[in-house]
Structure 1
């Protein structure tokens, strides 16, 4: 492998610092912040632990982003995490990441976010809901919601095949709108919607971990290993709600001054989202009791909060916000994902056509193959399960990538590093320990979230052996 960080000269460097930051924030903020706090409260049961789960997730995500900044400054080219893993561990590990990325991580997220868009659209237009079955077959039922999700994926894919400039305008605009909307909701919730009695009651036993029973809708204290199990289970939702922050590294080949702007975009984007997420959860605690958060209908805790603030119109307010949020999130995921397949194809580890640029100087074929597979996942109805299954794998690859900082410092000590990981070696090491600890916790307490991920990885090995026979670059 060539280790000098030569820049891709085939792609247009159209994206600046603001665009990169908005891609990070926009890819992170989907529908999770509007939903997953219900499940977190059911697992940890108190205000203090709810905020702790979101705070620790934000902290480890920020640490990872700071470490990725060093790697991005060394390899300011398309492909991001795939490129870093290849430099540190070789082609097999890099391919297994790219394989998981295409099969489930990126495309499964695109499918899930697309369906979330459709579900909340049904609040405004009930005829496009999940209950409207368009075609019933022996294997699957195709609903109006699935067709709407696929339509949005196709539309955003087409938009991004028209050039990175179109994608960046949509991404930056939608992300600014969603940040301002969420910020406005938080401010109103903490002012006009603030209920002092609920707030005080929620914080009365802030650090007593509880487990809420779905059958009785009551909470009971937990102790011992049940505390660890509760935390691990709770973090499944917060980690996925905070994921996709690394998408900006995939498009480094199209960012101006990438040695500076990629790392800075990572830091600023993650910081903004972490503040928003913590503020949103404080708003939930200011407007709703813990029981109301834990058992919000369909876990849509933000709708209950908005109804407290705005009255009956609150449902419409949140529906519109989630539609904007998920639409913008998917634009960022679609825009960045194809750049990984582009780099893999250049290495002879993916379909050759995915390594070609169209007349608009973007990987158009890669965008469309991503669109097709994400649409198929929409139709299976299993995209949500797939996302749960790969959280273990996602954390492993994050830990491996942070480990690449240590490996590459020894492997290429003289390589230019315009930006260095803050707090090295302590801070990156703490991230690796934390990620591994969560993985061990998942193995012990949530095994259904672990073994299917291994299956995805193992299935990639024979595929690698086939593709690796091709030309290597």
Structure 2
């Protein structure tokens, strides 16, 4: 029997796809995590080197995702690769951990960050933060109900605003650094980092580069995916690396290495030094735009994973439906957005994110590892794009991610243990779900 159910339409071009990469990576992290990296380094040059190394390592993963996306240009991303390479259980565990816990948790966290900065910029009291965050999620879900083009247009606007905020930061730093740039980049005699601090500083750098996988979740809606996906992933991440280097250069140039290490809000502190409270308010608007754009991508990408799980029978069938007119997974969008709003209002997302960080990076490692399976299983099949320096790049990425997981486990054994426990708890859920399905079809 022919399947006549609606499917996704390929409406995203190269710029739309690159904007998803930029918006999915650049959220709120770069406006906070630079201080943590500065605390663990001893000079501005060392700080910039770390961000360059993190960008190079992430690029290795992006090139691997480019081949995976070109081989399987379908909605669902890692879920699809794990299902084909390793079977339904690993794919379900990914969906269980990411689509049901991590994605809505990260949306709740970043939406709350958006609301914090938005309320500060317009002068609303703290009491308004949760309602504004919930309203932002509702608005994003509503726009995405009309399809990927509507969501993409909104994202493109916020990506431009995000890049404008970064350009403003860099310009402000160059004005503040007149005549003493060399001093700002020189080693800080009051802060001598230990050799292992350098490795520890790589953790927040890599976490800030996370989010590049969202485009693969939306691969089923990319035009000419075999050509567009590799190009958009490469262009998008190149833009991200450039932005991160420029932003960190701006922080060091404007605040100095010691000032950056001591700052808890370096972007706002930098703007305030030159423009006072008005500058800090403008930067708050820029950060709000950046975090809002990230939420849009996380909701759109996460909903596609949920929809693919529903269509596979790994979640409720209704969630697997695609609207015939808009070609959007409206039920999946409503489920993900509604759960994220519950997390916002309950304030329980912070610990959830801590508990899923290790699991997220573990699935990144397994996702890239499927490339070895595809290369062996389909050795005779012509590939539209092949990652260069295979198998060095995928092996390097997997090894680096496992190193990050090990370092995180040593640094935070409680959170790492809970993260792995959440993944393992998905096994009995999967078994119960499959048993319930078999009973329902008997």
TM-score if structure 1 supplies the norm length?
A: 0.87
Residue 265 (1) aligns with residue 232 (2):
yes
Residue from 135, 158, 176 that aligns with 1:193: 176
1:454 aligns with 2:420: yes
**Matches of 1:419 and 1:376, distance apart in 2:** 41
Match of 1:282? 249
Residue among 135, 152, 176 paired with 1:168 = 152
Gaps of 5+ in 1: 1-7, 133-143, 209-218
Contact 2:65 2:368 in 1 (8 A): yes
Q: Which moved more, 1:375-384 or 1:30-39?
A: 375-384
1:34–1:15 distance in 2 versus 1, CA, 3 Å: same
| 2:435 pairs with 1:435 | no
For 1:203, which of 185, 190, 213 is the aligned residue?
A: 185
Q: CA deviation at 1:334?
A: 1.2
| In structure 2, distance between residues paired with 1:420 and 1:203 | 39
Change (3 A) 1:153 1:464: same
Task: Report what 1:246 is aligned to.
Answer: 213
Q: Secondary structure at the match of 1:127?
A: coil
SS at match of 1:37: helix
CA shift for structure 1 position 222: 4.5
Task: Report whether the alignment pairs 1:379 with 2:345.
Answer: yes
Per the alignment, residue 192 of structure 2 pairs with: 221
1:325 aligns with 2:296: no
Q: Quote the residue 1:140 is aligned against.
A: none
Q: Output one character per residue of 1:267-310: Cα deviation in whole Å (capped at 9) or x when no partner.
A: 111110111011100111101123321222xx211001112233
The correspondence of residues 131-170 of structure 1 with structure 2, limited to 5 A, is 132=127, 144-170=128-154
- Of 397, 420, 439 in structure 1, the residue corresponding to residue 363 of structure 2 is 397
Show the counterpart of 2:72: 75
1:88-108 Cα distance to aligned partner (Å, 9 max, x none): 111111111111112332111
Paired residue secondary structure (1:450): helix
Aligned to 1:369: 335
Task: Give me the whole-angstrom Cα distance separating, in 1, the residues matched to 2:156 and 2:43.
Answer: 36
How much does 1:196 deviate? 3.6
Contact 1:193–1:309 (Cα < 8 Å) also in 2: yes
Contact 2:172 2:271 in 1 (8 A): no
Could you tell me how far 1:232 is from its partner in structure 2? 5.2
Worse-matched range after superposition: 49-58 or 451-460: 49-58
43, 46, 53: which is aligned to 1:46?
Answer: 43
More deviation in 432-441 or 71-80?
A: 432-441
Distance, in Å, in 2 between the alignment partners of 1:67 and 1:313 is: 43
Are the aligned partners of 1:232 and 1:441 in contact in 2 as well (CA < 8 Å)? no
Distance of 1:387 and 1:47 partners within structure 2: 30
Q: 1:355 aligns with which of 320, 325, 343?
A: 320
SS of 1:44's partner is coil
Q: Does 1:345 align with 2:310?
A: yes
Q: Find the aligned partners of 1:375 and 1:235 in 2 and give their Cα distance.
A: 32
Q: 1:449 to 1:47 in 2, by over 3 A?
A: farther
1:14 maps to: 11
Q: CA RMSD in A?
A: 2.1
Structure 1 residue 231, shift from structure 2 partner: 4.1
Alignment gaps of 5+ in structure 2:
none
Paired residues, number: 433
